[in-house]
């Protein structure tokens, strides 16, 4: 699965280098066998962003993207879009897409609400905003990819965990809690995070369909 993510990232325009940060030698071996660079990190890293921040010490750059290893169907254009946001001045950036009706009650599908400038106000595993008035504001699903300037990435990694982050199990809430703005691009970015066995089966079916179209 991680190799599939790396392959998609390598197809994104504007990406200078793709590397996989991991604390698992088995993952590193699989990645290297596929021709990608693997960077070993400390198992004590509390989340993916901290892992990227540690790996960044061996990979100097002005900005970094954190493409999560459980998104094997991530669109290369989605990755390129986050890179553009960072290049255009966002300290931290991510993506959102329209929420599918069946996803409203799924805690593994994270929801996000935005302010007037397209910045994240809050992320939750619950449905937000509450649908008090039907159709008033179509809900958005968060796509699990982040972009950072080099300075913001290291700042984030130094910040303490927050009660909101622990309550929701969402690392991006640490940034909002400490006042780091997160710019969000909204589009029809199609991806499926693999959080459950059902997600894995769905991704396998979608991947087989995608491979069939490109033969």
Per-residue tens of pLDDT for the chain, all 215 residues? 788 889 889 999 988 999 999 999 999 999 999 999 999 999 988 888 899 999 998 899 999 999 987 777 788 999 999 999 999 999 999 999 999 999 999 999 999 999 999 999 999 999 999 888 776 788 999 998 999 999 999 999 999 999 999 999 999 999 999 999 999 999 998 766 655 666 556 555 655 656 555 44
Residue 5: per-residue pLDDT: 87
Residue 194: per-residue pLDDT: 58
Residue keyed to tokens 């540690």: 54
Q: How far apart are CA 106 and CA 110, in angstroms?
A: 8
Residue 215: per-residue pLDDT: 47
The answer to whether 20 and 69 have CB atoms below 8 angstroms apart is yes
Q: How far apart are CA 123 and CA 69, in angstroms?
A: 20
For domain 62-213, the CATH superfamily is: Spore Coat Polysaccharide Biosynthesis Protein SpsA; Chain A (3.90.550.10)
Residue 104: per-residue pLDDT: 93
Strands 140-149 and 63-67: antiparallel
Q: What are the residues whose beta carbons fall under 8 Å from the beta carbon of 170, sequence distance 6 or more?
A: 110, 123, 124, 125, 164
Q: Write out the two tokens for 76.
A: 């290369």
Residue 128: per-residue pLDDT: 95
Residue 90: per-residue pLDDT: 98
What is the pTM assigned to this prediction? 0.85
Residue 82: per-residue pLDDT: 96
Q: What are the residues whose beta carbons fall under 8 Å from the beta carbon of 107, sequence distance 6 or more?
A: 125, 126
Scanning the chain, the segments in alpha helix (DSSP H) are 2-10, 25-33, 48-55, 76-87, 150-158, 163-168, 172-177, 197-213
């Amino acid at each position: 699965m991680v190799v599939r993510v790396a392959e998609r990232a390598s197809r994104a325009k504007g990406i200078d280098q793709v590397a996989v940060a991991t604390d698992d030698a088995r993952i590193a071996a699989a990645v290297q066998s596929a021709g990608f660079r693997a960077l070993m990190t400390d198992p004590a890293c509390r989340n993916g962003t901290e892992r990227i921040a540690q790996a960044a010490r061996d990979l100097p750059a002005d900005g970094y993207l954190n493409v999560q290893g459980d998104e094997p169907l991530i669109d290369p254009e989605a990755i390129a879009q986050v890179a553009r946001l960072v290049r255009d001045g966002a300290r931290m950036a991510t993506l959102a897409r329209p929420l599918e009706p069946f996803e409203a009650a799924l805690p593994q599908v994270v929801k996000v609400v935005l302010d007037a400038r397209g910045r994240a106000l809050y992320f939750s595993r619950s449905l937000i905003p509450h649908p008090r008035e039907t159709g008033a504001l179509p809900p958005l699903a968060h796509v699990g990819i982040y972009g950072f300037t080099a300075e913001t990435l290291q700042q984030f990694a130094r910040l303490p965990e927050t009660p909101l982050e622990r309550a929701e199990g969402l690392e991006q809430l640490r940034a909002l809690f400490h006042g780091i703005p997160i710019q969000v691009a909204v589009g029809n970015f199609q991806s499926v995070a693999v959080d459950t066995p059902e997600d894995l089966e769905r991704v396998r079916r979608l991947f087989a369909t995608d491979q069939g179209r490109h033969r």
